[in-house]
Amino acid sequence: MSVITLHPGSVSLAELETIYRDGAAARLDDSFRPKVAASARRISEIAAGNVAVYGVNTGFGKLASVRIPPADVTTLQRNLILSHCCGYGAPLAREIVRLIMALKLISVGHGASGVQPETVAMLEALLEKDVTPVIPEQGSVGASGDLAPLAHMTAVMLGEGEAFYRGERLPGGEALEKAGLKPISLAAKEGLALINGTQVSTALALAGLFNAHRLANAALITGAMSTDAALGSSTPFHPEIHTLRGHKGQIDTSAALWKLLQGSQMRDSHLEGDERVQDPYCIRCQPQVDGACLDILRNVAVTLRTEANAVTDNPLVLSDGSVVSGGNFHAEPVSFAADQIALAVCEIGAIAQRRIALLVDPALSFGLPAFLAKKPGLNSGMMIAEVTSAALMSENKQMAHPASVDSTPTSANQEDHVSMACHGARRLLRMTANLAGILGVEALTAAQGIDLRRPLETSGELQKAHAAIRRAVPELEVDRYMSRDIAAAAELVSSGALNASVNAAILPQLDSRPATM
């Protein structure tokens, strides 16, 4: 297992994606440990004193006016965690939970949260030993942080709750014991530091971002293949057209489409006798639509990288030693980011679905047989595969409604405006899975269309993409059980294998400016 060394404030998207996709462990860079220890000492001093400081020697939320004696501070933190373990629903996936723990390490690693070095070490050990807390997916409104899900994470550190270890779901204490770890005890404020924060929402949004960017690039490949299969023109992808408009995403996506289609015999084969002057928008306007989506994803990447590197609990130990309450736990930036990703995912799928519909319709596909069947009538071909893509597209449209506008007051009106970031980000997992299905169907229809145009050949790059599809799914000769084909094509897309089949330099990167910390 590889290990990523975290430098809070400058952790890159690439490092976070490695933790998410490859299961890398993470540890705090040693240079940050003295500040962590110093903030813990400062909290200890306050807990032993007479001045009331929220969350250190007081109750929480609406109970902040209740003073807690020094002898009860540890009990206060344990009670906080257990009382907040109110999650509901299925467990979050292992890769999401590991990213959550890495993000929490980054946040407390700044040395403004007052956690003990032993607590940092426990987070590192859970990642190293592959102990994955069971975190129910529902229960956060993204207000005072992701309270319930982060409480389930923290409970395992105390030997409570549940965790997965070596494929087995176990009581938290048993999972720690089998991994050779011992539960920790929380000192003053530590429970609050661990459950305040946006790490669950941010991890889910980052997963949505990483998946969406991979699929956006796959859509350029399947879109270029559909363009060739439909005998569409590549002229609308001419670089100067897009430079004249100036949007970076549009320029980059048009360049990718232009390069992917270079050398295609199909592109020029229809010029004589073709009365079409222009292709439909789903072919011609790919750079304008997919490019706008790429711009959204790149802008969101800046927001989420900043949030991943942020301190988002409360109260915070400031540089002068004061401990001050604020509201960094409010996940509004993440909620807006998730809503924007949802819009991009929805639109990439919507325009791709129209290309599928074009290819299966003999009135639009310029000479291809109905539903891409070699003997239409006797065979239905891709008829219902197109319907499935429409169903997935419609689901994504329904889920694209913004979550960020759906605030509701909670906690006896103390938390009277909430972000809804957590489920707003969680829906991205389902939406990107749906998009993978749509693009999987487009991969099948485009590859079938290219097969039906033989002996004409597509471009060299698209021949490599076509070969990758054909290794996963054979050409459709007669009707067969199609669900497995769609699943295999969707996996080819979602795994990144389709993207890997072409020259990596062609596909746009998820660029982002440095986080400002």
Beta strands 168-171; 162-165: pairing state:
antiparallel
How many Å apart are CA 107 and CA 111, to the nearest integer?
8
Is 92 exposed, middle or buried, given 0-12, 13-18 or 19+ CB atoms closer than 10 A?
A: buried
Is-contact 419 330, C-beta < 8 A?
yes
- Who contacts 121 (Cβ-Cβ below 8 Å, separation ≥6)? none
Crossing angle for the helix pair 286-308 and 199-229, to the nearest 10 degrees: 160
Tell me the three state secondary structure of residue 329.
coil
Nearest to 193 by CA among 108, 126, 276: 108
Report whether 338 contacts 307 (CB < 8 A): no
Measure Cα distances from 376 to 163, 245, 325, 472 in Å.
Answer: 53, 43, 69, 24
Angle between helices 117-128 and 94-109 (to 10 degrees): 160
Strand, coil or helix: 388: helix
Provide the CA 149 distance to its chain's centre, in angstroms: 17
Which structure tokens are listed for 325? 């309450």
Q: What phi, psi does 390 have (nearest 5°)?
A: -65, -40
Q: Which residues of 101-132 are buried (b: 16+ CB within 10 A; e: fewer)?
A: bbbbbbbbbbbbbbbbeebbbbbbbbbbbbbb
Q: Are strands 162-165 and 131-133 parallel, antiparallel or unpaired?
A: antiparallel
Q: What residues contact 271, with CB distance under 8 A and at least 6 apart?
A: none
DSSP 297-312: HHHHHHHHHHHHTS--
Q: Give, for 3, the enclosing helix (H) or strand (E).
A: strand 3-6
Catalytic residues: 54
